[in-house]
Amino acid sequence: MHFSNPIGLAAGFDKNGKAIKSLANFGFGFIEVGTVTPKAQLGNAKPRLFRLNEDEAIINRFGFNNAGAEAMLQNVVRNKNCLLGINIGKNKDSANDASDYIYLLNKFSQHCSYITINISSPNTANLRELQQIDQLSIFLTAIKDCYQKIDKKPPIFLKVAPDLTIDQQQLIANLVLQHNWISALIVSNTTIDRNNKLINKQQTQSGGLSGKPLFALSTAVLANFYRFGQGQIKLIGVGGISNGEQAYQKIIHGASLLQLYSALIYNGFGLVERIKAELSQILQQQGFTNIAEAIGIAIK
């Protein structure tokens, strides 16, 4: 895959693919829509979104609210004019987790640039259990069997949580290396951890925390996956990026690509071009002619 620049829009902003055409005008190198589930669902009860302004953070517990696969497909077919990823997940009442992902893989494989398998949202009950190595091994084998039968095989990304233990990170990295049909890991989703000296009184709300406080944790986990994968696993760095220096830190700790969401809420869409300009300047100052030269250089 070839990207015009490394800054992508993370899933969750455009859950139903309604704004793809407009979003493509803000300078992103790629756009990821979803999370989409096979059937439409309302998500968790409101209130379910909290801005922690003093912390430049957000807590959400949406629960994969979306209009369903058919509505997403119609929007994607109408607006497919950029490098587009589709983030897929399970319905909360699904009896068979893998069957939901297999359905969506078949549904969208012809209509996107890549597909992200989301097993790391903290807001759907038991979803993160799929990251347990025994369950993940069975799950990925089922997905692989489906993937091998698809005529047009889009690259597959796997999105993981920042709350994995070191042992879990090591085991997942080993498993991904075995499943070489997985093209990349997205590191990471939101965190349920609250050990980040938050100020805003909404800090006690349940759900996934994103934004500035997630940067250090998500970058540490990113570096671990780069190290455990011995640089062989392509990584997309997500979590707390709001300037060019933070984008650079993600890259030197192993990221080939980056994604934003929460920082856009506090800085607006002009942030995309600002980060690109700042990142270009930093790379030049450090003596790099392109991003590829800087990937993982901070990992020893």
Distance, in Å, from the CA atom of 234 to the CA atom of 225, rounded to the nearest integer, reads 9
Catalytic residue among 99, 109, 120, 121: 121
Distance, in Å, from the CA atom of 44 to the CA atom of 207, rounded to the nearest integer, reads 10
Distance, in Å, from the CA atom of 172 to the CA atom of 170, rounded to the nearest integer, reads 6
Distance, in Å, from the CA atom of 178 to the CA atom of 128, rounded to the nearest integer, reads 21
Whether 121 is a known active-site residue: answer yes
Alpha carbon distances (Å) from 72 to 27, 77, 81, 95: 23, 9, 15, 22
Catalytically active residues, by annotation: 121
